[in-house]
Chain A
Amino acid sequence: MILTIAAKELRALFNTPLAWIVLAVVQVILAWMFLVRLDGYIELQPQLGQYPNSPGVTEFIVAPVFGSATVILLMIVPLLAMRLIAEERRNQTLTFLVSAPVSAAHIVLGKFLGLLVFLLVVSGLMAAMSVALVAGGKLDWGLLVVNLVGFVLLTGAFAAVGLYLSSLTSNPVVAAVATLASLLILWIVNMGASDPASLLHLISLMKHYENFAKGVIHTGDVAFFLMLIALFLWLAARRLDRDRLST
């Protein structure tokens, strides 16, 4: 059931030009950044070579490109997630899913999974671009994989927040704006906090992503993202269930 709903979401996504435009635009922007970093690396390479522990091609190109990608996705995931439930509500197609023998959890998980698959496509394209570096040098595979894991976890968290906010309203634009605002706040919330143990660091998305960018998988960070995703999916399922209790 979850897979059926996920497949339906994916089809709905690729039936609209939005998904293709997003894929194309993200790819163009990232390819541009990738080229700029590559150019910089080639320029600096003779000097870097003199130091024993100089940053390699992965550290110099791949990690920053993934870093920029997170900011782009921060703006784009709200656009993809906004329609998940809000649009079905507005077109009154949500009844179709609610009357079918599926639970609210199935609906929410299916929709999340559909969007996640799309995000995996984006990550896959980025990974392919990075792997192309193998042609000209040695790639730090570990760092690339850790970056990918962090990227998927982070964008998954974006998607979960977007899905929840989409379940609150019947207006996709409201959902998109609310998601973008919440994600931005969660992104920069730790900026003013100087105390490293502060609660603001604990809930900051950027803080938790930083370790992945450095190539470190920290159980705490993984748990943070997984819990964030689970929390918002649970809230969304609860919200759908509550629709039945009041009109």
Chain B
Amino acid sequence: MREVSLTLARGEVLGLLGPNGAGKTTTMQMITGNLAPSAGEIRVCGIDLLDHPIQAKARIGYLPETPPLYRDLTVDEYLRLAARLHRVPKARLADAVIRARRRCGLSDMAQRVIGTLSKGYQQRVGLAQAIVHDPDLVVLDEPTVGLDPNQIREIRTLIRELATDHAVILSTHILPEVESVCDRVQILHQGEVVYTDTIAALKQFRGGHALTVAFRRAPDPDTLRAVPGVSGVEALSTHRFRLLHEPGADPAETVVKASVAQDWGLIELSPVETTLEEVFVHLTQNDEPVGTP
């Protein structure tokens, strides 16, 4: 890992993205005190994790990639243990367990032995364990991996809910998940942050914008390039083209006018929105790191 820097405010969900082996899990292990960085500093609510690990860790809830479950314990026993280890006062212990259980949809599972639960429920127990002590920072390493679509949706809703009073860091390589859950995104590649911004800004990224157009009687590309506002033409097939243009100078109107005037027979005109996937591929398949815009 080199020069990775993350900051996060309460009520925010930060998505950590990257191909396998990019350093997402390593970053999370450092934040949660499972790995010590060779240089640098980690602060949780102003408490230095390296100097005062015990106070700092009390404010963190961590769900690793493999939920750390004791399969012989029941859900309640396990959550009580987690709460006790995280120094939840005795008087509030029972409440904390019930609350975490309810938030993760485990209310009917209190007396079940964890080893007999399905993968989806085990994942929820892992999540309940991470929030039982009401931490300021929740760190989730690929929380929806191996779940069915319904469960994924529930977990995402839960994460959004958590974000109202906690700060959440989430790692994943499922891109729609980031778009639907996170406020901000950081893309890691080979141990470095190659991109960091809000989801909204992400959609503006990649310099130029583009339009996809199709004509019944297509002109040749050079004629299209001559249309005012168009800066480049990529032929997608004999009659479909991608028109590149400068940001802010949308040539849609002039293209329509030109089409009507010269009888090209316009049948499709749509803006190309940059998806997170494109940014991701663009950033992580380049060998040289790309600076933020």
Contact = CB atoms under 8 A, between A and B. Distances in A.
Given A15-B72, A95-B64, A103 B36 contact: no
A98 B36 CA distance: 12
B68 A103 contact: no
Contacts, number: 68
B62 A99 contact: yes
Interface in B98-150: 129
A59 to B, nearest CB: 43
A244 B36 contact: yes
Interface string B76-94: 0100011011110000000
A247 B35 contact: yes
Given A4-B84, A12-B72, A99 B57 contact: yes
A214 interface: no
A12 B34 contact: no
A96 B82 contact: yes
Interface string B45-56: 000000001111
For chain A, the bracket of interface size reads 20 to 34
A242 to B, nearest CB: 10
Nearest to A110: B85
Nearest to B32: A99
Interface in A1-36: 1, 4-5, 8, 11-12, 15-16
A44 interface: no
B152 interface: no
B62 A244 contact: no
B66 interface: yes
A224 to B, nearest CB: 33
Contacts of A245: 35-36
B72 A244 contact: no
Contact of B68 (A1, A8, A95): A95
Contacts of A99: 32-34, 57, 60, 62, 64
B269 interface: no
Nearest to A1: B85
A92 interface: yes
Contacts of A92: 64, 66, 68
Contacts of B71: 91
Nearest to B130: A99
A21 to B, nearest CB: 16
A1 B58 CA distance: 13
B46 to A, nearest CB: 16
A220 interface: no
B86 A100 contact: yes
B75 to A, nearest CB: 14
B49 to A, nearest CB: 11
A45 interface: no
Contact of A95 (B26, B62, B70, B73): B62
Interface in A79-106: 91-103
A18 to B, nearest CB: 11
B68 A96 contact: yes
Contact of A11 (B26, B35, B66, B73): B73
Contacts of A8: 70, 81
A12 B70 contact: yes
A97 B86 CA distance: 10
A15 B73 CA distance: 8
A161 B210 CA distance: 68
Contacts of B64: 92, 95, 99
A16 B56 CA distance: 34
Given A4-B85, A95-B64, A100 B57 contact: yes
Interface of A: 1, 4-5, 8, 11-12, 15-16, 91-103, 244-245, 247
6 A-B pairs with least C-beta separation: A96-B68, A101-B58, A100-B85, A101-B57, A15-B72, A93-B68
11 contacts: A12-B70, A12-B72, A91-B68, A92-B66, A93-B68, A93-B69, A95-B68, A96-B85, A96-B129, A99-B60, A100-B86
Given A15-B72, A98-B34, A247-B26, 12 more contacts: A1-B85, A4-B84, A11-B73, A93-B69, A94-B68, A95-B34, A95-B64, A96-B129, A100-B85, A101-B53, A101-B86, A103-B53
